[in-house]
A and B are shown apart, each in its own frame.
Chain A
């Protein structure tokens, strides 16, 4: 069992984004990658290879994870790799070519590095021209909780918004599904006061109203990454004693991607 992680400190919104390969679809510019909203999608067409370059500015910035959400790379049969450098020339591969197995949110982790430039290369291994779309592009750090989740824990709990009915003679009529909403309740029985003060509250104060990507166990469930937000209007983490606080209970919500 691994410690849960929340991906945050995305470098993309403040970075300078450029792209090469194909044509950016009208109405779907690169700047849409900065919104944390998977329905504002950047889109390209006309090539079989595209590059997105992220320039963080004169100062190198640290990052230890990348993620994509609201994409269609699986449908396109595409793959991507991540490289970085400080001179816009000597690119070092950070993530080898990865082929998504679905269009769901995908997060990848590696040892933290500090770089000025990061670039994503998306291709389909020399295949035909394709038209990728990406809603959320993440390049940044993650918060790793220092404790395991309190069990039982269910990352797949979700509500189904649907409508169905019975016919006048009792027959079951068709069902129309509106959407499925993932609701994950996360709880930690106790956390050190030191960690709460030094790490949790700065994170919370910066993040409580911003979407993020949640991975409950990257070690054993690498494919389980969800674009979510906190579903709370209050937060509390009471003292147990002077050294420990808890429980910290968080409700997360997002779309149940299919």
Chain B
């Protein structure tokens, strides 16, 4: 046996494509309790069941491989070809087309038994595909997975390359064709809020303080098991309810005047609408985007098992039972101040955290089950939480939705308001990636022309993506603002006068964004500045083919490429960073990759920081006491200067080329009338592979890392443009010189 990596690295290898259809099958045995069926002709599916009262829903994996693949136990070698149309991220439009795959299968005579995995099953006759469809007419929406492997690799080590749902199956004498779509298509089809029938009105007048609402038919409203938030609107009042009584036709546990509305009397006969709202109870503040995103995905039926997570370095520091609500952890500082985490398969929400403790925990959220966990279990966070924590921690959003809207549209606008791409990756998981440069430590693959399939490369310079002017509408006062400027309360405009001058680009290329989720200036400023900087230049799209050796390159990955089609003024090819925005594996050996220029060149940086401080006293190469004059040279976030709170034990500073790990931290109080100072004690010199050195009075001190606190991130990475200018006074204009910190 060998590994996937070793097989790919071989000059020659035999490819195996494994397709798994997860179709319905009863978990019982025919005629064995609890099944009471008799009379035969049971294919263990609901439409063929002779005892539906005892039908137990389960699944059976129908496995297929490509012709000639080495035998995998239980797999039929009927896969002839597939035509994948992978998810395509159009970054400048914040659009992601759902992946659509068509797989063609050869015909076959019937299997020897109707159900080979059942003890009691009739012998089968006829043809495989017609039989399969006849017995499994409810195939639509069932899961399909496509794996890639090689001869000599264990089936368990095969890599998932597509995961989606079956949309349609066509059967002919030539076999069958299955059309499948990825999970985001499911979100596009699902709509919220659910409609209430027009005749289902207020039945008895609801008093201003009433806690129970009598309606015409309570069955028309959501019960307690529904995923949809139970919020209704009568006239202008939002009302939450906790339950329904279909005998008395009442909605119970009313929360009156919800989401910033006022409680009022509602007379009999008034219409009732189901609505959707994200924000705090008073609607005075928003909530974190990860909570919104995953709630929407959950409501669309895309379960928590399909959300991509990140390991940002936090682990459990104790074993947990299934009810504990405070977790001892190591690396809590890598997590957002509040949010959601996943341990094993369980998702939990927490409200507060320190470096070593997560507390205020709600176990088993989003349909998962609270279970025990071992110490040292990885505390994952969603990619959305991770990315937001990295690039605009503390950002919050809010929105009310009254018109029936596709969940896909809600997700798309939320992603756009975070300048993020939301897509289904090759692992079949929903991933969230903010359009940003790679951070320190990001592994960026470099490809050369040697690696490109001959004559496969083309460049679309895609001038349409360029923008000289950004109009960003936000803070909509009413629900469902759509794309009507008048429906928004505020507008951010950025423009590049130089670019629009007649001697330069000569016209205004306008990027207009309607941001229904943004309600605060801070998020609007962040988005407008980032958007403007990202698209001041067009982002060419490079298409090329690779061979299967490069199958580990995945959608959303960053690549460093030098191609002869993109050169600098001297004619020399330039190295640029691209993001993989589409990846289509072809039938045999070819992978067609579309990569979009990120505009970030070769720079790799994590944070942009202002000038920070200087050494008050010279230090030699083994001094552990460092005395820093912080002055009043910085003002990001309005504090006026650095304080001890800006440093963190275990974090790092840089002086010259040396990096130093911080020990104890003290605000200086000795000279209150002089320039403020911070004292760092018990520092570890020569950190992160650098060499301890002596440093002089006045040498600059930069904070490299100071934990993952929202405050730090807001202050040093919240707004920075490509010239490393910072928005020091919060007016939305980046105008103070900063440092790129490596």
Contact = CB atoms under 8 A, between A and B. Distances in A.
Interface stretch (A3-11, A36-44, A93-101, A224-232): A36-44
B569 interface: no
B69 interface: yes
B722 interface: no
Nearest to B455: A168
> Which of A133, A178, A255 has the most B CB atoms < 10 Å from its CB?
A178
Interface stretch (A113-121, A157-165, A189-197, A244-252): A157-165
Interface in A131-178: 133, 135, 161-178
B12 interface: yes
A178 B111 CA distance: 24
B548 A174 contact: yes
B12 A175 contact: yes
A169 B449 contact: yes
Interface stretch (B73-81, B192-200, B492-500): B73-81
B14 interface: yes
A174 B68 contact: no
A179 B73 contact: no
A19 interface: no
A28 B73 contact: yes
Nearest to B544: A168
A176 B69 contact: no
Contacts of B69: 179
A166 B12 CA distance: 14
A177 B74 contact: no
A174 B590 contact: no
A70 B71 contact: yes
Contacts of B113: 29, 31
A168 B74 contact: no
Contacts of B76: 39-40
B543 to A, nearest CB: 13
Q: Interface range on chain A: under 10, 10 to 19, 20 to 34, or 35 or more?
A: 35 or more
Contacts of A172: 11
A181 B111 CA distance: 24
B68 A178 contact: yes
B456 A174 contact: no
B588 interface: yes
Given A26-B117, A38-B71, A40-B111, A175 B11 contact: yes
A211 to B, nearest CB: 11
Nearest to B10: A174
A41 B112 CA distance: 11
Nearest to B549: A174
> Which of A165, A170, A181 has the most B CB atoms < 10 Å from its CB?
A165
A176 B123 contact: no
Contacts of A162: 588
B15 A29 contact: no
Contacts of B457: 168
A39 B75 contact: yes
A34 interface: yes
B589 A176 contact: yes
B13 interface: yes
B548 A176 contact: yes
A43 B547 contact: no
A28 B68 contact: no
A178 B67 contact: yes
Interface of A: 25-29, 31-32, 34-35, 38-41, 43, 70, 133, 135, 161-181, 255
Give the 6 A-B residue pairs with the shortest CB-CB distance, closest first. A179-B68, A163-B588, A163-B589, A27-B117, A176-B589, A168-B452
